[in-house]
Structure 1
Amino acid sequence: MRHTLPIAPQFYVTAPQPCPYLDGRSERKLFTALQGDNAERLNDALSKQGFRRSQNVLYRPSCAECNACLSARIRVADFQPNKSQRRTLKKNAYLRRDATSPWATEDQYGLFRRYLDSRHADGGMADMDIFEFAAMIEETPVKSRVVEYSAAPEPGQMRRTLTAVCLTDVLDDGLSMVYSFYDPDRIGDSLGTYIILDHVEIARKAGLPYVYLGYWVPGSRKMGYKAGFDALEIYKNGRWQDIGNPADHSAETHPLSVDPIAEQVARIALPDTRPSRG
């Protein structure tokens, strides 16, 4: 018997897991498969509604009593780097950027492992082997790029030194930074900030209005740095809005802070996938 993919995406909810951002809390995700001929349109549409991509899945936090995770994006046309960010740009001007197809390499994985072991040794990705890493990079049904940053060869070496990597999706209205990692020995170079600043420049030259940064979580030290970028918007209460004063956004829990799953799904705006008429 032949089976076909459902016309409308089906949404599911994960079981509660310990929250990676706020101690003592549980996280739960609303997710749907990303596949078929309409994958790019679905990724574009749901990214505008606070979803993120992980391989062949789109997800959005949907915790039972917490709505602290807020999708964040930079308005490219309005962005101006501050003094510290200008220093970061100058400090890393020696790096060469290369954008390639989403293909995993041993050099990438070696840098990835050093980054995890130094920065996130107790995180959910700590045990990721090279095959799982390759799946993270290569299993994408949408337009994606691997953006590599490398330094000139060290004395006596022939190859450039891979310094930072970002897996990036190209949306119809911007760049979505899916995952980035960098040389942990260069902590003073602010490479994480530099990758974001450079993506703003890439988007500017491509005429794309936004750079999507993932989630900003008030009260989380891991995610607090995102509030330091100019022209930052957050997706809150069903709409994009300027972040304003970050201190005005609370990470408090409340049993009525999150709508039931059925209501959340009913409000998701799906792309029109009907074939166009000639």
Structure 2
Amino acid sequence: MSDLSELRFFRTPAHPCSYLEGRQAATLFVDPQTRLDGDLYGALSRLGFRRSGEYLYRPHCEGCQACIPARVRAADFQPRRRHRRLIEQNRDLRVNEEPARYTREIYSLYARYIDGRHCDGDMYPPSEEQFTSFLTCDWADTRFHCFRSPQGELLAVAVTDHLDDGLSAVYTFFDPAQARRGLGVHALLWQIGACQRLGLPYLYLGYWIRQCQKMNYKSQYRPLELFRQGQWREYNDAPPPA
């Protein structure tokens, strides 16, 4: 389907917000019966939608617009001093691209990450079914970018969707025992670099939430564009620390 005006959407009932305490959230989903493909995915990404498994969604909460779609303008991105230090620190890692599918090795890393970093969240406890239904998709061009030590140990995986105008950073998970490497930030920097190497203009980051520390970090990557009032606008608040 190429005509967005023909799409049907469904809104979930209100439920406790995962990001802002005391708030109620609701989500707008594209009708699961819609035949989705890469072109439609790209068009909806430009309207602030995200992918979770086989579904495309966008927050649609009563009286709240805290979740704002964000993307980095990759060609103009210049790493800050601390980004350069992190890239140098991880230059021993090698990255290989693997199909987006369950393997025992990748799932084991995912489970350790959820157990170690998100044991108080709605993704806990991890399961093989949850891993597959959340990260893989039959109609999207999804890749697992695997970061390995010089000895071949899997340390991090960046789940990335390839769109017509950029990459979408779907999810990153890593070895919690390797916190000093800053693997989450490193994977994001690598994906910006991948956009530059592929000549793609944007890295889609999902939702920026000013009031939520675990989402506000996205403002560190400039130039950042936010989707507000139907348009992508450059974020021009005070610059982040170096």
For this structure pair, what is the TM-score category when the shorter chain's length is used for normalisation? Answer: over 0.9
Partner of 2:112: 114
Partner of 1:194: 186
**2:6 partner SS:** coil
Q: Which residue identity is paired with 2:119?
A: A
Partner of 1:240: 232
Partner of 2:213: 221
> Structure 1: which 5+ residue stretches go unaligned?
1-6, 154-159, 248-278
Q: Which has the larger radius of gyration?
A: 1
Partner of 2:39: 41
CA shift digits 1:145-187 (9 cap, x unpaired): 111111122xxxxxx1100011111000000011111111111
Q: Which residue identity is paired with 2:127?
A: D
Distance across 2 between alignment mates of 1:168 and 1:111: 17
The one of 215, 218, 223 aligned to 1:231: 223
**1:222 partner SS:** helix
User: Segments of 4+ in structure 1 off by > 6 A?
Assistant: none
The structure-2 alpha-carbon separation of the partners of 1:83 and 1:142, relative to structure 1 and needing over 3 Å to count, comes to: same
Contact kept in structure 2, 1:12 and 1:30, CA below 8 Å: yes
**1:41 partner SS:** helix
Q: How does 1:135-214 map to 2 (within 5 A)?
A: 135-153=133-151, 160-214=152-206
Q: Which residue identity is paired with 1:39?
A: D
Partner of 1:14: 12
CA shift digits 1:211-269 (9 cap, x unpaired): 0111110110111211111211111111111111169xxxxxxxxxxxxxxxxxxxxxx
User: What is the Cα deviation at residue 38 of structure 1?
Assistant: 4.9
CA shift digits 1:10-39 (9 cap, x unpaired): 200011111111111011111114676652
Distance across 2 between alignment mates of 1:33 and 1:150: 38
Contact kept in structure 2, 1:115 and 1:183, CA below 8 Å: yes
CA shift digits 1:111-154 (9 cap, x unpaired): 1111111211111111231122123333331111111111122x
Distance across 2 between alignment mates of 1:128 and 1:51: 25
TM-score (norm. length: structure 2): 0.92
Q: Percent of aligned positions with the same letter in both sequences?
A: 38
Q: Which residue identity is paired with 2:108?
A: G
Distance across 1 between alignment mates of 2:29 and 2:39: 16
Contact kept in structure 2, 1:70 and 1:217, CA below 8 Å: yes
